């Protein structure tokens, strides 16, 4: 076997399944529920396919330099077919990972799962720390707030929420900097009271929902029996920081 041939070797299905099974067993030993582990691995697999599709749909469609028009046209058609196939695979993998049904169920809002809350925590904390020093709420309250936020979305939206949250923080960075400087940790505003939530990483997730789905957020907020003053205070701070 030549060196070039060895470089082209890829993992086969058995090898990939072995790695997956090994990871599941290691996570089980660490106390991670098998269903949660399967969901995380499924999201990584779906994400890998989505990234491959994005790359192929971009520069991957360009024929090699110097190709004739007929060759280039065939290259583009072939790349388009492969990209569409990858998009379909990524969509089905995501559906399997989040237990989505068919297209008609994509807007449904199933109960929020524990792993969805954990993923939201992992996403929101570093983003919050880019604006302010951390001063979180009680862990139980934090989970309640994030669960109310996630309850405004369908399963697929929750899977993609870290990306949406990152874009929100980038798009509104100047406004968020003013808000946290005025009302957050280190400001003259006390941590207890109407602006309590501004001192928590969860505030960033709540702000994103206030901008995107305010009615649904208030509905879920009331259902969770969270303090109305927290949401009202964050709303006022957001409006004042415009």
pLDDT digits (tens, 9 = 90+) for 64-108: 676 777 777 776 777 777 777 777 777 777 777 787 544 445 557
Question: Mean pLDDT over all residues of the chain?
Answer: 83
Q: How confident is the model at residue 8 (pLDDT cuts 50, 70, 90)?
A: low
228-239 pLDDT, tens per residue?
999 999 999 999
Separation between Cα atoms, residue 150 and residue 145, nearest integer Å: 9
Neighbours of 89 (CB within 10 A): 16
- Residue 36 pLDDT > 80: yes
Specify the pTM.
Answer: 0.74
Is the Cβ–Cβ distance between 153 and 106 less than 8 Å? no
Is the Cβ–Cβ distance between 31 and 85 less than 8 Å? no
104-120 pLDDT, tens per residue?
455 578 899 888 999 99
Separation between Cα atoms, residue 164 and residue 119, nearest integer Å: 13
DSSP codes joined into one string, 25-91:
HHHHHTT--HHHHHHHHHHHHHHHHHHHHHHHHTGGGSPPTT--HHHHHHHHHHHHHHHHHHHHHHH
Q: What pLDDT is attached to residue 39?
A: 84
Residue 241 DSSP class = T
CA of 40: how far to CAs of 13, 24, 45, 231, in Å? Answer: 19, 10, 9, 31
- Residue 145 pLDDT > 80: yes
Q: What pLDDT is attached to residue 104?
A: 47
Dihedral in degrees, nearest 10, Cα atoms 100, 104, 46, 38 = 0
- Residue 152 pLDDT > 90: yes
Report which of 102, 42, 54 is spatially closest to residue 82, judged by C-alpha positions.
Answer: 54
Range in 12-16, 124-128, 196-200, 209-213 with the lowest mean pLDDT: 12-16
Percent of the chain at pLDDT exceeding 70:
87
Range in 2-16, 37-51, 164-178, 191-205 with the lowest mean pLDDT: 2-16
Q: How confident is the model at residue 59 (pLDDT cuts 50, 70, 90)?
A: low
């Amino acid at each position: 076997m030549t060196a070039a041939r060895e470089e082209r070797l890829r993992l086969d299905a058995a090898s990939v399944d072995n790695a997956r099974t090994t990871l599941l067993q290691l996570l089980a030993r660490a106390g991670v529920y098998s269903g949660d582990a399967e969901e995380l691995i499924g999201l990584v697999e779906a994400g890998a396919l989505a990234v491959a599709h994005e790359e192929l749909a971009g520069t991957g469609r360009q024929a090699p330099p110097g190709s004739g028009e007929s060759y280039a046209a065939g290259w583009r058609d072939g790349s388009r077919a492969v990209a569409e196939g990858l998009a379909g695979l990524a969509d089905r993998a995501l559906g399997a990972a989040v237990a989505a049904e068919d297209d008609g169920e994509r807007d449904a809002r199933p109960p929020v799962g524990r792993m969805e809350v954990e993923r939201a925590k992992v996403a929101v904390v570093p983003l919050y720390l880019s604006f302010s020093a951390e001063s979180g709420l009680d862990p139980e309250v934090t989970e309640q707030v994030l669960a109310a936020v996630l309850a405004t979305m369908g399963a697929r939206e929750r899977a993609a929420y870290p990306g949406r949250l990152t874009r929100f923080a980038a798009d509104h960075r100047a406004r968020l900097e003013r808000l946290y400087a005025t009302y957050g940790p280190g400001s003259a505003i006390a941590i207890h009271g109407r602006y309590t939530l501004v001192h928590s990483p969860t505030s960033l997730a709540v702000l994103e929902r206030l901008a995107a789905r305010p009615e649904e957020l208030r509905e879920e907020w009331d259902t969770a029996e969270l303090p109305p003053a927290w949401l009202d205070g964050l709303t006022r701070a957001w409006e004042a920081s415009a």
